[in-house]
Amino acid sequence: MVRRIYDFYLEGFRSMTTGRTLWKIVIIKLIIMFGVLKIFFFPDYLHTNFTSDRQRADHVLDSITRPYTPPPAAER
């Protein structure tokens, strides 16, 4: 049964014409989003603010185990 499902999808991708172009566009977009934009918009916070792996690990552990306290309501 797994072989039949695999053959079904394989034959479908082989006979695609417009779909191949769309898949290429999707892959190019993903490369741009995760490769290029990550460099410019998501700096490496841990490496710039901490010098050792132990400090980084302590910061992450503290951040994920600290209970959430909502900000105070805005006064009018």
Asked, for residue 22, whether it belongs to a domain, the answer is yes
What secondary structure does DSSP assign to 28-61, as a single string? HHHHIIIIIHHHHHS--HHHHH-SSHHHHHHHHH
pLDDT computed for residue 57 by the predictor: 94
Asked, for residue 75, whether it belongs to a domain, the answer is no
Q: Is the model's pLDDT at 75 over the cut of 80?
A: no
The 10s digit of each residue's pLDDT in 30-49 is 998 888 888 888 778 888 89
Domain count of the fold of the chain: 1
Asked, for residue 17, whether it belongs to a domain, the answer is yes
Tell me the residue range of the domain where 46 lies. Answer: 2-65
Asked, for residue 74, whether it belongs to a domain, the answer is no
- CB distance 50 to 59 below 8 Å: yes
Say whether pTM exceeds 0.85.
no
Asked, for residue 36, whether it belongs to a domain, the answer is yes
Of 57, 38, 32, 36, which Cα lies nearest the Cα of 47?
A: 57
